[in-house]
Amino acid sequence: MRSPTLTLPKLGVGLAYQAPLAPLLAAAGPELDYVEVVPDILWTDLGRTAEPRYIDDRAGRDALEQASRCRPVVAHGIGLSIGSAGAFDAAHVAQVERWRRRLGFPWHSDHLAFHLAEHGDAPMNVGITLPLARDRQSIELLVPRIRTVQQRVPVPFLLENNVYYFDIPGCEMDEPTFLNTLCRESGCGLVLDLHNVYTNARNHGFDAGALVAELELEHVGEIHVAGGMELDGFYLDAHSDTIPDPVWSLLEWTLPRCPNLGGVTFELFGSWFDSVGNARITADLRRLRALWTQALQPAVPRRVLAEAA
């Protein structure tokens, strides 16, 4: 089964919103085309049994409404836990839709993972994205849920390839096959997080470029890039630095091969803003913008090149 063509506006280069980055966002020039926000920071979720369940955060709402007047705002959620076996959180989806209507997200995304489990009768929030087994069972769990999201939030929905520090052994599929199958069968797009691919490749000893080359890149609606750090023998997807050279190389290869790409987003946690510095962040945004512009150029037919020579 082929998914319908992913149709996203070509936004360009985005920066993931964090409150300490607000001055940078306010001062940014044409190198920045959109802002990506984790919508979950815009509200407090008191739990599924609470009434009312969600409390909106006024400061966050004001900041994002201000940002949305200057640039498009794209949503990248962390709260859906779409792979949780226990329950699918339709109220969370409704909350995302409520904020889409308010901020006009042209697309939205979440993580291909789970973080909510159940222990006894109580929900358990691990707070980090845990991997799903790359099995047919997971595909069958995810596809109807993705379709529900697509029905209830009428803009394209993307899922991000996960970072994992342990893998689930004995999976039926490798990662590209799993991602390709999921996108094909569900019609969802992919947030291809190249820093996640790089992190997994470093920690688990595989070739990041070979993995990306196996992906059906027409499913990629957005690319994420970031920097990380070493800790206790692991390389972490810490969003703690500018983009490392191997991720730039992955991006340079991947970006022109994604025909349905809407944007490339740079992620940096706000707590690292001071140590990384405005100048290095801006330099990365400009380099991303140059790559984006280059990738949008129509390919020059070989015949024209030959004539020019």
Partner 1 sequence: MSLLAFQTALARLIVEPDFRDAVRGDGAAALPGPLTALEASRLVTIAGDRGLDMNRTLHKGFRLGKLRALLPLTCALLRPARLAREVAAFWQANPPASFSFLPEALEFCDFLARRELRSVYLAEVLAYERATLELERARLGPTPPQSVRFQHDPVRLLGTLAAGRRPRSVPPRPCLLLGSKGGDEPVHWTLVDAVSPLARYDRAHAADLMAA
Residues at the site binding partner 1, with contacts judged by CB under 8 A:
44-48, 52, 55-56, 58, 79, 84-86, 114, 116-119, 122-128, 130, 133, 137, 141, 164-170, 203, 231-234, 236
**CB of 56 or CB of 241, closer to partner 1:** 56
**CB of 121 or CB of 245, closer to partner 1:** 121
Pairwise CA distance, residues 74 & 263, whole Å? 10
Pairwise CA distance, residues 67 & 77, whole Å? 18
The encoded tokens of residue 160 equal: 């991000």
Pairwise CA distance, residues 28 & 38, whole Å? 20
Task: Tokens 């007047």: give the residue.
Answer: 69
Pairwise CA distance, residues 56 & 60, whole Å? 8
Contacts of 154 (CB under 8 A, 6+ apart): none
The least distance separating partner 1 from the CB of residue 136, rounded to whole angstroms, comes to 12
Pairing assessment for the beta strands 108-111 and 73-76 based on DSSP bridges: parallel
**CB of 55 or CB of 290, closer to partner 1:** 55
**CB of 167 or CB of 216, closer to partner 1:** 167
Judge residue 207's burial from the number of C-beta atoms within 10 Å of its C-beta, 0-12 exposed, 13-18 middle, 19 or more buried.
exposed
Task: Tokens 């999201």: give the residue.
Answer: 149
The least distance separating partner 1 from the CB of residue 165, rounded to whole angstroms, comes to 4
**CB of 145 or CB of 219, closer to partner 1:** 145
The least distance separating partner 1 from the CB of residue 128, rounded to whole angstroms, comes to 5
The least distance separating partner 1 from the CB of residue 297, rounded to whole angstroms, comes to 40
The least distance separating partner 1 from the CB of residue 204, rounded to whole angstroms, comes to 9
- 110 strand-pairing partners: 159
Pairwise CA distance, residues 280 & 286, whole Å? 10
- Residue 214's CB is within 10 A of a number of other CB atoms, namely 14
The encoded tokens of residue 69 equal: 């007047």
The least distance separating partner 1 from the CB of residue 122, rounded to whole angstroms, comes to 5
Pairwise CA distance, residues 190 & 193, whole Å? 9
The least distance separating partner 1 from the CB of residue 184, rounded to whole angstroms, comes to 22
Determine the angle formed by the axes of helices 90-103 and 58-70, rounding to 10 degrees: 50
**CB of 55 or CB of 90, closer to partner 1:** 55
**CB of 140 or CB of 252, closer to partner 1:** 140
